[in-house]
Every structure is written in structure tokens, then in C-alpha cells.
Amino acid sequence: MQEIAIALITGDNKRVDALTVQALEQGFSANTVMDDGLISGMAIVGIKFRDNIIFVPEVLISARAMKAGMAHIEPILSEAGIEPIGTVIMGTVKGDLHDIGKNLVSMMMEGAGFEVVDLGINNSVEAYLEAMETEGPDILGMSALLTTTMPYMKVVIDTMVEQGIRDDYIVLVGGAPLNEEFGKAIGADAYCRDAAVAVETAKEWVGRKHNAAKA
Ligand code: B1M
């Protein structure tokens, strides 16, 4: 498992691919390979990224390696019906075509065990609402990179309030021009500075939601 984690951290997708197949053939469970190999490797990538030890290109290369491993794991997990820790809808808002950061967040979320439905770029309120209706996510994640498009996040949240569905979802927002204050002002649950924070925040909020549901 350690070798898988190291190959993932170094972004060696061919080695992650081969080691994942090998581990599964040797009888390790898909969950063990995912948790102790892939996800633990990705967790280190997240920490290094957060601490500015590695940067976007390295994260994208590790994310590609993660995908190579997950391609063998996902079919086994979906056959076994193992639940993801939560479902996230992620999309860049209307008028905005930037998607590098959003893709990074999506990959890191997947790496942490979330199911991610990526809506891509240029999403209207209607597109978000339709996806919420059909996918029933725990989390709505919105990204904006332009000062001209970030106010659209409020349009989405206000529409959710109008429709009485705001509290049915955890709303997380991110993007370079945003900050904590903006997140609060538009009524999001949290602003996420980067992909690592987005994963930590998503885990925390989903945990809270599940605990509240149990109580
Ligand atoms: Co654009 N662009 N761009 N651009 N572009 C910026 C954002 C800009 C700051 C550059 C500048 O002028 N210095 C500027 C915005 C200025 C402003 O609004 N005040 C700008 C502009 C003006 C434009 C155009 C208008 C240029 C033009 O056509 N005249 C145009 C707009 C197009 C449109 O969207 N309608 C445009 C176009 C483009 C490209 C197509 C060329 C390209 C995008 C390619 C793509 O995404 N596929 C591009 C790029 C690459 C940039 C810069 C250089 C880099 C953005 C990036 O990918 N950063 C950017 C300058 C900059 O930011 N330094 C710039 C790396 C990425 C990993 O970081 O996206 O911040 P980021 O994501 C982070 C966090 O913010 C957070 O986690 C991520 C990972 O840590 N995060 C989330 C992001 N989304 C999240 C969602 C979450 C949680 C966390 O949800 C839960």
C-alpha cells in the first residue's frame, strides 16, 4: 500500500495503475487499496499542496495517477454497493469558463472518497437546480474566478432560498477572488480557500449532517 501511495505522490500513473492491479490480484480488498494506498497518498498530496511544498502541476499529475488507480477500484465498489462518504455537485458559475481550480477540487474530493458530479463550466441557476433535483447531493460546490461572475453565486443561493430548498444542501464556494466575508455575505455555508481546505470542509460538514440526521 505504501508503494501505491508513494507512486501516487510522485505522480507515476503507470506505476499506480500496475500496483493497483497487482494488489487486487494479490487479494487486497478494493477498500484497502483505495484507503491505505490511493487516498492516503492523496492526503499527503493535499497537505503538501496546502503548505506550498508542491503546486498545481504536481497536484494535477498526482490526480491523474489517482484516476488510473480508481479506474480499477470504482467498478468493484459500485458492484459491492459501498457508499461514498457523500455526493458533491461541482460547477463553475454562469459566464465563467475557468475550470482548472474546480477540476482540482473535484479530483481531490474524489480522492477523499466523495462521489463528484462535475457540471463543468458556465452553469445557470437552472442547471444547478436540475442537478440537485436529479442527483440529490449532500453538497453543492460552486466556483468563480472573475469578479464579474462571483455575484452569480448569490443568485443561485437566493433562488434556493426562494424555493425553500436552501437548507437541504451544504453550499460550499471557492475561487481566487472570493474570501470568507463574501462567502458569509451570500449565504454559503463555507468559503474554501483551496482544494485541500475544500476537502476538509466537505468532510466536516457531511459529518455534521449525518450526525444531525442520526440525532
Ligand atoms: Co482568466 N482571468 N480570463 N483565463 N485566468 C484570471 C482569473 C485573472 C485574475 C487574470 C488576471 O487578470 N490577472 C482575471 C480575472 C480578473 C478579475 O475578475 N478581476 C482573468 C480574466 C480577466 C480572464 C478573461 C476575461 C480574459 C479575457 O478574455 N480578456 C477571460 C474570461 C473568460 C471567462 O471565463 N468568461 C479569461 C480566460 C482565461 C483562460 C481561458 C485563458 C484560462 C482558463 C483556462 C481554464 O480554466 N480551463 C485563464 C486562466 C488560466 C487564468 C489564470 C491565469 C489562472 C487561473 C487558474 O487556473 N488558477 C487567472 C490568474 C490567476 O488566478 N493567477 C486568470 C489555478 C487554479 C488551481 O486556482 O482557480 O484559484 P483557482 O482554484 C483554487 C482555489 O481558488 C479553490 O481551489 C482551487 C485549487 O486550490 N477553488 C475552489 C476554486 N474553485 C473552487 C470551488 C470550490 C472550492 C474551492 O467549491 C467548493
Atom of ligand 1 nearest to the CA of 102: 84
The 10s digit of each residue's pLDDT in 142-196 is 999 999 999 999 999 999 999 999 999 999 999 999 999 999 999 999 999 988 8
Atom of ligand 1 nearest to the CA of 96: 34
Give residues (CB < 6 A) around ligand 1. 56, 95-102, 104-105, 141-143, 145-147, 172-177, 192, 194-195, 198
Residue 212 has pLDDT above 90, yes or no: no
Q: Read off the pLDDT of each residue in 9-19 and give the average, rounded to a whole number.
A: 97
Nearest to 60 by CA among 22, 114, 111: 111
Q: What is the pLDDT of residue 104?
A: 81
Cell numbers for 123: 452553469
- The crossing angle, in degrees rounded to 10, of helices 100-111 and 195-214 is 50
Question: Confidence class of residue 211 from pLDDT cuts 50, 70 and 90?
Answer: confident
8 touches 37 (CB < 8 A): yes
Q: What is the mean pLDDT of residues 134-145?
A: 98
pTM score, whole prediction: 0.85
The helix/strand/coil state of 158 is helix
The pLDDT of residue 215 is above 80: no
- CA 166 to chain CA mean position, Å: 20
61, 139, 145, best to mutate for ligand 1 pocket (most atoms within 8 Å of CB) = 145
